[in-house]
Amino acid sequence: KNEVEQSPQNLTAQEGEFITINCSYSVGISALHWLQQHPGGGIVSLFMLSSGKKKHGRLIATINIQEKHSSLHITASHPRDSAVYICAVRTSGTYKYIFGTGTRLKVLA
Amino acid sequence: GAGVSQSPRYKVAKRGQDVALRCDPISGHVSLFWYQQALGQGPEFLTYFQNEAQLDKSGLPSDRFFAERPEGSVSTLKIQRTQQEDSAVYLCASSLGRRSNYEQYFGPGTRLTVT
Q: pLDDT above 90 covers what percent of chain B?
A: 88
Which of residues B48 and A40 earns the better pLDDT score?
Answer: B48
Distance from CA of B20 to the nearest CA of A (A): 20
- pLDDT, one tens digit per residue, over B60-100 is 999 999 999 999 999 999 999 999 999 999 999 999 987 76
A57, HSE (Cβ side, Cα atoms, 13 Å): 7
**Range of weakest confidence among A3-12, A35-44, B9-18:** A35-44
B91 with A43: Cβ contact below 8 A: yes
- Mean local confidence (pLDDT), A7-34: 96
A99 with B43: Cβ contact below 8 A: yes
- B19, containing H or E segment: strand B19-24
pLDDT surpassing 90 at residue B113? yes
A86 with B109: Cβ contact below 8 A: no
Among the partner residues A41, A45, A96, nearest to B58 by beta-carbon distance: A96
Say if residues B8 and B77 touch (Cβ distance below 8 Å): no
CA-wise closest residue to A92 among A27, A6, A35, A45: A27
pLDDT level of residue A1 (50, 70, 90 thresholds): low
User: DSSP secondary structure string, A69-81?
Assistant: EEEEEESS--GGG
Among the partner residues A33, A41, A98, nearest to B104 by beta-carbon distance: A33
Cα–Cα distance measured from residue A55 to residue B102, given in angstroms and rounded to the nearest whole number = 17
Ramachandran bin of B40, using left for φ above 0, alpha for ψ from -120 to 50, beta for the remaining angles: left
- pLDDT, one tens digit per residue, over A39-96 is 877 899 999 999 999 999 999 999 999 999 999 999 999 999 999 999 999 999 888 8
Q: Is A50 on the interface with B (CB under 8 A)?
A: yes
Cα–Cα distance measured from residue A87 to residue B87, given in angstroms and rounded to the nearest whole number = 23
pLDDT of residue A108: 97
Q: Which residues of A touch B43 (CB under 8 A)?
A: 43, 86, 88, 97, 99
H-state helical runs in B1-115: none
Q: Which of A34, A43, A50, A94 to mutate to test the interface with B (most CBs of B within 10 A)?
A: A43
Q: Which residues of B touch A35 (CB under 8 A)?
A: 106
Q: pLDDT above 70 covers what percent of chain B?
A: 97
pLDDT of residue B24: 98
